[in-house]
């Protein structure tokens, strides 16, 4: 939903992204071309960033150009979140969510903009919401109109991106009771949850309570399928002393009708919370049987061609199956607004193991086609992300399957100094690069150049015509040195491919 940001906000985020991804100096001309603006506007944007975000980012200038040095505790997405919080459009969305039927003047007064600015941003929002999430904002008064499932999923993405996991934007929903409720729900379903699932569940629960309280209910033919689970949940909650007063704390009566509403946005008859239930229905339902059959073929192909093996295949198959069918839950085109960490993660992995990535994409598309699902872009991304992150020890196996680049550490001080550098480098790159210590004495250029290696790491500057790629480490590796090594390794992988 970058289209709802102002042109300056979009341009500045592109600039910040380039500075974040690049470790080299970039000239002003290159930057201006990359973000499609004049030198004058680029200088203005850089000044704005320096004046407003100096605690997050330092912009360095030299005769080679400029580069951004990010603070260790932040990344590019920190800035996306900051821009979301300042964005007029995103603040309007939050106002309407918490205050349905709010008027233009009330929004204008609350976020300190003119009524005409509110109108203009509502129009921008509706263009994006209709095309990507299949709902819209109605006028006079403002409220969300469209499939309730889509609305709830959208706001799960919205609050996930606008706020950090340590923040809780729902004043009317007690966080402690929300977490207790969710923990109990997971026990009932026997689902092994992660922090990511738990955070998404908290958001979905809070959004579900708020929307249900205001009379916005999900209509679904699948609701009867899950009544058994929710009745078990209600029975379990009634046994919990800590949750005896939950209805008062939530201001929400937890009966079967309301309980079913809370998690319906991520449930349908083809998604399974419990591995045992999933395995029990493989022989009962042809679609599930076909999905598992093709997933086994999919994984067998990857194992064979990439020379890897799988631990806990059954859990991975359940995860992949669920991610595939999540795309059928709602008629939406995306599952993110501005922050798509999954796509970025996959892009990074594609650089490290391009052949594996191509194989996974090809076989994933074949799986979706075989079971009759249309692989929407975000659905395919989620599916591939689930494979990368759910396949235990895949990264280690891929590292071991590739021949490691060899680097020699040449110190003009002592072998102890070389060992300290080796220890530091092994902590970051030991799985992917073999670091050896050059022990010949005295140092001779010809001997060093004849080493069978891909890289020399020296504690002194090498001649400019030295034959082997080299990195100068003065005392111990710096973050800049690590970034250079990461780029070197990525380039080696790409060269191997070609």
In this structure, the strands spanning 136-138 and 65-70 are unpaired
pLDDT of residue 213: 86
CA distances 78 to 184, 213, 380, Å, are 32, 33, 26
**Which token pair is 162?**
């606008």
pLDDT of residue 242: 67
> Would you mind telling me the total number of residues written for the chain in this entry?
498
pLDDT of residue 498: 61
pLDDT of residue 123: 96
Burial class (CB in 10 A: 0-12, 13-18, 19+), 218: buried
pLDDT of residue 307: 87
Class (C level, CATH) for 403-497: alpha beta
Confidence (pTM): 0.79
Q: Which value, in Å, is the radius of gyration of the alpha carbons in the chain? A: 27
Cα separation of 223 and 185, whole Å? Answer: 17
pLDDT of residue 129: 96
pLDDT of residue 404: 84
**Tens of each residue's pLDDT in the chain, 498 residues:** 999 999 999 999 999 999 988 878 899 999 999 999 999 999 999 999 999 999 999 999 998 899 998 888 888 899 999 999 999 999 999 999 999 889 999 999 999 999 999 999 999 999 999 999 999 999 878 999 999 989 999 999 999 999 998 899 999 888 888 888 787 777 766 555 677 778 888 999 899 989 988 889 887 665 655 556 666 767 776 676 666 666 666 666 767 677 777 776 666 678 887 788 888 889 899 999 999 999 999 999 999 998 899 988 999 999 999 889 887 766 787 888 998 889 988 988 888 788 899 999 999 999 999 999 887 778 899 999 999 999 988 888 887 777 789 999 999 888 899 999 999 999 988 878 999 999 888 889 999 999 999 999 999 988 888 989 999 998 899 888 998 998 888 888 777 766
pLDDT of residue 267: 64
Residue spans of beta strands (DSSP E) within 49-142: 57-62, 65-70, 136-138
Evaluate whether 161 touches 81 at the Cβ level (below 8 Å). yes
φ, ψ of residue 285 in degrees (nearest 5):
-120, 120
Angle between helices 115-133 and 104-111 (to 10 degrees): 100
Which CATH topology does 87-146 take?
Arc Repressor Mutant, subunit A (1.10.10)
pLDDT of residue 491: 84
pLDDT of residue 270: 81
pLDDT of residue 27: 93
On whether the 2-82 domain is CATH 3.40.190.10, my answer is no
- In 447-474, which positions are buried (b, 16+ CB within 10 angstroms) versus exposed (e)? ebeebebbbbbbbeebeeeeebbbbebe
């Amino acid at each position: 939903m970058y289209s709802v940001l102002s042109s300056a906000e979009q341009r500045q985020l592109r600039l910040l992204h380039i500075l974040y991804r690049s470790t080299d100096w970039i000239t002003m001309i290159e930057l201006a071309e990359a973000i499609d603006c004049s030198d004058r506007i680029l200088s203005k944007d850089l000044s704005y960033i320096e004046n407003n975000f100096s605690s997050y980012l330092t912009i360095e200038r030299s005769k080679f150009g400029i580069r951004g040095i990010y603070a260790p505790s932040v990344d590019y997405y920190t800035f996306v979140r900051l821009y979301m919080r300042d964005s007029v459009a995103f603040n309007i969305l939050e106002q309407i969510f918490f205050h349905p039927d709010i008027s233009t003047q009330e929004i204008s007064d609350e976020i300190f903009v003119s009524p005409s600015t509110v109108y203009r941003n509502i129009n921008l929002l509706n263009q994006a919401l209709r095309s990507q999430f299949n709902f819209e904002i109605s006028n006079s008064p403002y409220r969300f109109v469209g499939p309730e499932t889509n609305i709830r999923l959208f706001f799960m993405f919205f609050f996930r991106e606008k706020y950090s996991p340590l923040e809780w934007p729902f004043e009317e929903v007690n966080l402690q009771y929300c977490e207790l409720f969710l923990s109990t729900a997971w026990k009932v379903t026997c689902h092994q949850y992660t922090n990511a699932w738990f955070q998404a569940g908290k958001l979905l629960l809070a959004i579900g309570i708020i929307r249900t309280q205001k009379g916005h209910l999900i209509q679904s033919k699948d609701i009867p399928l899950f009544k058994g689970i929710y009745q078990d949940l209600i029975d379990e909650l009634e046994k919990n002393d800590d949750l005896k007063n939950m209805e008062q704390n939530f201001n929400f009566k937890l009966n079967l009708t309301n309980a079913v509403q809370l998690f319906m946005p991520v449930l349908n008859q083809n998604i399974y919370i419990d591995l045992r239930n999933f395995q029990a229905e493989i022989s009962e339902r042809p679609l599930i049987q076909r999905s598992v059959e093709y997933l086994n073929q999919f994984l067998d192909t990857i194992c064979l061609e990439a020379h890897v093996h799988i631990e806990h295949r059954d859990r991975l198959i359940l995860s992949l199956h669920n991610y595939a069918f999540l795309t059928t839950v709602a008629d939406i085109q995306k599952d993110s607004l501005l922050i798509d960490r999954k796509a970025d993660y996959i892009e990074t992995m594609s650089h490290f193991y391009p052949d594996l990535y191509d194989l996974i994409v090809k076989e994933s598309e074949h799986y979706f086609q075989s079971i009759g699902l249309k692989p929407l872009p975000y659905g395919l991304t989620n599916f591939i992300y689930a494979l990368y992150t759910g396949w235990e020890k895949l990264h280690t196996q891929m590292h071991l399957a590739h021949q490691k680049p060899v680097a020699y550490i040449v110190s003009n001080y002592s072998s102890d100094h070389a060992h300290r550098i080796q220890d530091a480098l092994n902590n970051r790159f030991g799985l992917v690069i073999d670091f050896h210590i050059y022990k010949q004495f005295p140092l001779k250029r010809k001997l060093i150049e004849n080493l069978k290696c891909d890289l020399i790491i020296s504690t002194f500057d090498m001649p400019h015509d030295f034959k082997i790629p080299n990195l100068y480490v003065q005392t111990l590796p710096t973050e800049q040195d690590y970034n250079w090594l990461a780029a070197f390794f990525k380039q080696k992988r790409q060269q191997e491919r070609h």
